[in-house]
Amino acid sequence: MIETNAVIIGTVVNLIGLLTILYRVGLWVGNLNSTVRVLDESVRGIRNDMEVLKSEIKPRMNDLIRLEQALKATVNAVNNLQDIIRGTFADRLTKCEKDIVELKTTCRECNDRIKRNQ
C-alpha cells in the first residue's frame, strides 16, 4: 500500500512538474509569438518608411539629374564661348599684325622717298 501511495504521489508530483514545464513552455511560446508580432509590425513600419523615402527621394534625384544636365550644357556653352573669343582674338591679332606690317612697309617707303629727295 505504501508503495502504491508512493507511486501515486510520485506520479502526481511528476505530473505537476510536467504541467509546470508545459505552462512555462506555453508562456515562452506566447512571449515569442508576441515578440514576433511586434517585430513584424516594426518591419512593416520600416518598409512603409522606406517606401515614403523612395517616393520623396525620386523627385529629388530627378531634379539632380536635370541640374547635372543643365551644368553640362552651361559648361559646353562656356567652352564654346571661349573658343569663339579665342577665334575672334586670333582673327583680330592677325589683322593687327598685317596692319603693322603694312605700316612698316609704308614707313619704309616714306623714309626712302625722303632720303631720295634730300
pLDDT digits (tens, 9 = 90+) for 57-103: 999 999 999 999 999 999 999 999 988 888 888 888 888 899 899 98
Q: What was the pLDDT predicted at 84?
A: 87
Q: What is the pLDDT of residue 116?
A: 83
The Cα 118–Cα 14 span in angstroms is 147
Give the pLDDT confidence score for residue 86 in this predicted structure.
84
Model pLDDT, residue 76: 93
pLDDT of residue 4: 84
For 64-75, b where at least 16 C-beta lie within 10 A, e where not — what string? eeeeeeeeeeee
Per-residue pLDDT reduced to its tens digit, 20-39: 998 898 888 889 989 999 99
1 pLDDT above the threshold of 90? no
